Chain A
Amino acid sequence: MKLKLTCKEAGRLISEGLDRKLSLPQRIALRLHLTICDACTRINAQFRFLRRAALRYPGPERDGGES
């Protein structure tokens, strides 16, 4: 496993990391990539947000209501 990831590879690892435990080299490579890459940092936050949104789906009955 190489240490330098492209954004394409990082995106897949971010997603897979939500579904299984990544290997240590994968986690290190991803951590390194995220420290230098704003685009993938956004993707990471957005995938995590999607998880929170999906858990609450179908959402509140009214705006600001219970979800």
Chain B
Amino acid sequence: MLLKFAMLQLRNQAQAEDAVQETLMAAIQGAKNFAGKSSVRTWLVGILKHKIVDLIRRSSRERPLDLPDEETSLEDFDALYREDGHYASMPAEWGDPETALSQRRFFETLERCLERLPKNTARVFMMREVMGIETDEICKELAITATNCWVLLYRARMSLRACLEERWFAIRA
């Protein structure tokens, strides 16, 4: 589970293994600080998030992000809209999506949707929404422009909402 989490963010097996190993080391050293207020899993994920942010900060200084044009273009999204700028097909009503947040299967679906995103798109989305890093810092760490950052986040959100609609909400509505 930890390795999968790290892989989704880092998309690099060696780096992901490093992050997990450092997490487990830190957990062993800090075991007495574990207050038992959360589950062990939640506690480990918390440590892993910090380790991943550290790794991103270290590696971004070594090499800037390689960003292919198709991830920063929005041309492929034109198909979602009619010529007058309205949606070609209406976004579905998701009912009460909050109930999904207590279901393990929902998060497995979200994970599969994240895996289908292009590498950098997934990475920026994870940094922003899973790690909660501010956009300025993401741009700086990855050495990309603010505009590219916003485009990647927009692409991620539009793709994820379509993926969740198809694979979760349409099935259960």
Contact = CB atoms under 8 A, between A and B. Distances in A.
B39 interface: yes
A46 to B, nearest CB: 5
A9 B85 CA distance: 8
Contacts of A45: 94
B150 A16 contact: yes
B53 interface: no
Contacts of B157: 15, 47, 50
Interface in B103-124: 103-107, 110-111
Interface residues of A, number: 37
Contacts of B158: 11, 15
A40 to B, nearest CB: 8
Interface string A5-27: 01111011001101110000000
Contacts of A64: 102-103
B111 to A, nearest CB: 7
Contact of B42 (A42, A51, A66): A66
B129 A67 contact: no
B21 interface: no
A57 B102 contact: no
Nearest to B41: A61
B149 interface: yes
Contact of A58 (B5, B77, B97): B5
Interface residues on B, range: 35 or more
A38 B94 CA distance: 13
A57 B104 contact: no
Contacts of A19: 128, 135, 149-150, 153
A63 B102 contact: yes
Contacts of B98: 49, 52
Contact of B110 (A9, A20, A53): A53
B130 A55 contact: yes
A46 B125 CA distance: 15
Interface string B81-102: 1001111001111100110111
Interface of B: 1, 5, 38-39, 41-42, 45, 77, 80-81, 84-87, 90-94, 97-98, 100-107, 110-111, 125-126, 128-130, 132, 135, 146, 149-150, 153-154, 157-158, 160-161, 164
